[in-house]
């Protein structure tokens, strides 16, 4: 709608054809500008209507003041609008400027995502973890590991098979000559290149055909994976995990505090993210089992030595340890994948493996020293057939090494205090859900 009697444009006011972005609007006072965005709230008074319009450039909204005749009774939360008006200094302290509207085009589109921490996600994905790993002190080299692979790194059989489609392949021809899958982890390829660069990392999409509707599983998620050569202790790995978590989270607190506050205000009032930044605790799997068995909590799954820790156990352990991140080390050998190093000096048969458990989520990172001794690796059933190239890495000379993977969406879940992982991505993939 166009106002019949537009607000007076002062002679000093310039008209700009360039749309402004709300997060950059400061300093444009007394300028007639167009703004596009979605209505976040509408408050009507007798003569005027007050809209909060957000254009997706940040979480910040711009207050638009329009005479009632400009507004439309159908204007509501989610409506898309194009508003032209004059940016003026606001009488309210909270917002530096407001837009005195003289023209509103009402596009009437509703756009709804389960959630929208997209800005945080892309900013962080592109920069923080990579910045930490490539920084001078750390010196990791980035490697793009393949998305299509013939290996099942975790050995769990949760694979999506890749096959060509289309008329050229109607007779079921096998494109790669071997069964090929979407990768579940870039680890094995990182292990190959860690024989040339001693510290490597990858950050890419990974896929799991886990038939799970849980609050922390996706079929497609991003993982930051690091591999370090010449290491013989889990401490070398846990130090990188802890420093990386701290670096990323401090960055978020310094630069995206509005996003974090918004989520924490609505989702998990109480605990502050910075409370997670104390020194992480460290317990063994044996100690974890003892804690669980001593507790009065009734768990749905067993807590005997040798049983896998389920989400309920992990969340309990984090709470028990004061709601801060906890490393659990030295899991039973049979619980961990074929690549985990045998702790031969332990009385119970354990692997040099570690999981980092964090508040609200449970497992955020999984890592281990890798078995570099050929005889012990070969003893794992079935490896010779499928992973002969992996055994060759040891056969022709390997050094002690280890690494870990951090699930990026679970990291977002943790720092934003979001209960369901499907709410931290715009297009979550899980069983029976791949429509769009
Ligand atoms: O513990 P995982 O399976 O470890 C690996 O894949 C190793 N190969 C990584 C390595 O050492 N390079 O997975 C690592 C992390 C988990 O701790 C979790 O945060 C995340 O990946 N993750 C998932 N996130 C969302 N949905 C799923 N289905 C996930 N499965 C694992």
Q: What is the mean pLDDT of residues 332-345?
A: 94
Phi, psi (degrees; rounded to nearest 5) at 316: -65, -45
- With a cut of 60, say whether residue 4 has pLDDT above it: no
pLDDT confidence bin for 26, thresholds 50/70/90: low
Q: Which of 98, 362, 120 is nearest to 262 (CA)?
A: 120
Cα separation, 18 vs 34, in Å, equals 7
For residue 44, the model assigns a pLDDT of: 87
What residue segments make up the domains of the chain, in order of their start?
14-106, 118-424
* Residue minimizing CA distance to atom 31 of ligand 1: 407
Does the CB atom of residue 405 touch ligand 1 within 6 A?
yes
pLDDT in tens, 142-184: 999 999 999 999 988 899 999 988 888 877 678 898 999 999 9
Instruction: Compute φ and ψ for 247, nearest 5 degrees.
Output: -60, -50
Alpha helices by DSSP H, 183-310: 187-193, 234-255, 257-266, 285-294
Residue 226, CA distances (Å) to 139, 156, 203, 223 in order: 11, 21, 9, 10
pLDDT at position 355: 98
Question: Does residue 349 contact residue 333 with C-beta atoms inside 8 Å?
Answer: yes
Q: What is the pLDDT of residue 201?
A: 97
The reply to whether ligand 1 has any atom less than 6 angstroms from the CB of 365 is yes
The answer to whether the beta carbons of residues 340 and 346 sit under 8 Å apart is no
pLDDT of residue 270: 46
**Separation CA 423–CA 436 (nearest Å):** 16
Which is nearest to 281 in space by CA: 233, 320, 321, 331?
321
pLDDT at 88: 86
- Asked if 54 and 126 touch (Cβ cutoff 8 Å), the reply is no
pLDDT band at 18 (very low <50, low <70, confident <90, very high): low
Tokens read off for 14: 């310039």
Ligand 1 mean position, distance from CA 392 (Å) = 25
Mean pLDDT of 324-346: 94
The percent of residues above 90 in pLDDT, for the chain, comes to: 50
Regarding the domain delimited by 118-424, which CATH topology (the fold level of the hierarchy) does it fall under?
Answer: BirA Bifunctional Protein; domain 2 (3.30.930)
Alpha helix ranges (H) inside 272-344:
285-294, 311-320
Cα(423)–Cα(414) distance, integer angstroms: 12
Who has greater pLDDT, 288 or 413? Answer: 288
187 lines ligand 1 (CB under 6 A): yes
Please state the ipTM of this predicted complex: 0.99
Instruction: Report how far ligand 1's centroid is from the alpha carbon of 271 (Å).
Output: 26
For ligand 1, mutation pick of 325, 407, 428 (most atoms within 8 Å of CB)? 407
Mean pLDDT of 226-248: 95
More confident residue, 258 or 430: 430
Residue 277: partners with Cβ closer than 8 Å, 6 or more residues away: 246, 249, 250
| Ligand 1 geometric centre to CA of 365 (Å) | 7
pTM of the predicted protein model? 0.84
**In the predicted structure, residue 112 carries a pLDDT above the cut 70:** no
Judged against a pLDDT cut of 50, whether residue 7 lies above it is answered with no
**pLDDT on residue 271:** 57
CA of 406 to the centre of ligand 1 (A): 6
Helix, strand, coil abundance in the chain, percent, nearest 5: 30, 25, 45
Residue 331's nearest CA partner among 341, 317, 323 is 341
**What are the distances in angstroms from CA 244 to CA 118, 158, 204, 250?**
21, 28, 17, 10
Token pair 């030295």 is at which residue?
A: 330
pLDDT tens digits, residue range 46-89?
Answer: 889 999 998 877 777 899 999 888 777 778 888 888 888 888 88
Comparison of pLDDT for 54 and 96, the residue scoring more: 54
Ligand 1 atom nearest the C-alpha of 410 is: 19
Q: CA 92 to CA 308: how far, in whole Å?
A: 56
User: What's the gap in Å between 204 CA and the centre of ligand 1?
Assistant: 12
CA angle centred on 391, ends 387 and 396, rounded to 5°: 145
pLDDT, tens digit, for every residue of 291-308?
999 999 999 999 999 999
Q: How confident is the model at residue 1 (pLDDT cuts 50, 70, 90)?
A: very low
- The answer, yes or no, to whether any atom of ligand 1 lies below 6 A from the CB of 409, is yes
Q: What is the pLDDT of residue 185?
A: 98
- Work out the mean pLDDT of the chain and round it to a whole number: 85
Give the mean model confidence (pLDDT) for residues 276-280.
87
State pLDDT tens for residues 358-397. 998 999 999 999 999 999 999 887 787 778 899 999 999 8
For ligand 1, the distance from its centroid to the CA atom of residue 222, given in whole angstroms, is 9
Q: Hey, which of 152, 160, 199, 221 would you mutate to test ligand 1's pocket, going by the most ligand atoms within 8 Å of its Cβ?
A: 221
DSSP codes of every residue in 75-118: --TT-EEEEEEEEEE-SSSS-SEEEEEEEEEE-------S--TH
Residue 144: other Cβ atoms inside 10 A: 10
Q: Which residue has the CA at smallest separation from atom 29 of ligand 1?
A: 217
In ligand 1, the atom with minimum distance to the C-alpha of 368 is 11
Residue 395: per-residue pLDDT: 92
Q: Which CATH architecture has domain 14-106?
A: Beta Barrel (2.40)
The protein residue with its alpha carbon nearest to ligand 1, atom 23, reads: 407
pLDDT at 255 over 80: no
Please say whether the beta carbons of 400 and 369 come within 8 A. yes
| DSSP state for residue 202 in the 8-state scheme | E
């Amino acid at each position: 709608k166009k106002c019949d009697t537009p607000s007076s444009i002062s002679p000093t006011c310039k008209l700009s054809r360039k749309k402004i972005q709300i997060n950059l609007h400061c300093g444009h006072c007394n300028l007639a500008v167009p703004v596009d965005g979605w209505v976040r709230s509408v408050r009507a008074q007798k003569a005027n209507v007050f809209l909060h319009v957000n254009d997706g450039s940040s979480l910040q909204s711009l207050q638009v003041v329009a005479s009632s005749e400009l507004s439309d009774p159908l204007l509501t939360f989610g409506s898309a609008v194009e508003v032209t008006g004059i940016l003026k200094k606001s009488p309210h302290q909270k917002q530096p400027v407001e837009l005195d509207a003289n023209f509103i085009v009402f596009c009437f589109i509703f756009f709804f995502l389960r959630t929208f921490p997209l800005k945080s996600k892309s900013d962080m994905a592109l920069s923080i973890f990579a910045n930490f790993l490539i920084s001078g002190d750390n010196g990791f080299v980035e490697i793009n590991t393949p998305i299509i692979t013939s290996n099942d790194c975790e050995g769990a059989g949760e694979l999506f098979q890749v096959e060509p489609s289309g008329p050229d392949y109607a007779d079921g021809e096998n494109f790669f000559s071997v069964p090929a899958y979407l990768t579940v982890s870039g680890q094995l390829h990182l292990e190959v290149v860690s024989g040339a660069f001693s510290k490597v990392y990858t950050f890419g999409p990974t896929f799991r055909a886990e038939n799970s509707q849980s609050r922390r599983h996706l079929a497609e998620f991003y993982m930051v994976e690091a591999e370090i050569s010449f290491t013989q202790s889990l401490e070398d790995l846990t130090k990188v995990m802890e420093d990386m978590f701290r670096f990323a989270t401090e960055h978020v607190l310094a630069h995206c505090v509005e996003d974090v506050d918004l989520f924490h205000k609505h989702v998990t009032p109480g605990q502050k993210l910075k409370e997670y930044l104390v020194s992480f605790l460290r317990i063994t799997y044996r100690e974890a089992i003892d804690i669980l068995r001593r507790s009065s909590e009734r768990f749905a799954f067993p807590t005997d030595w040798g049983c896998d820790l389920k989400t309920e156990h992990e969340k309990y352990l984090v709470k028990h340890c004061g709601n801060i991140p906890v490393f659990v080390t030295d899991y039973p050998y049979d619980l961990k994948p074929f690549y985990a190093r045998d702790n031969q000096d332990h009385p119970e048969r354990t692997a040099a493996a570690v999981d980092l458990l964090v508040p609200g989520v449970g497992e955020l990172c999984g890592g281990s020293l890798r078995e570099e001794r050929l005889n012990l690796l070969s003893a794992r059933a079935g490896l010779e057939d499928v992973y002969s190239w992996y055994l060759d890495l040891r056969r022709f000379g390997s050094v002690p090494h280890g690494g870990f993977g951090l699930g990026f969406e679970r990291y977002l879940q943790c720092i934003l205090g979001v209960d369901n992982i499907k709410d931290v991505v715009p297009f979550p993939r899980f069983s029976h859900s791949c429509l769009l």
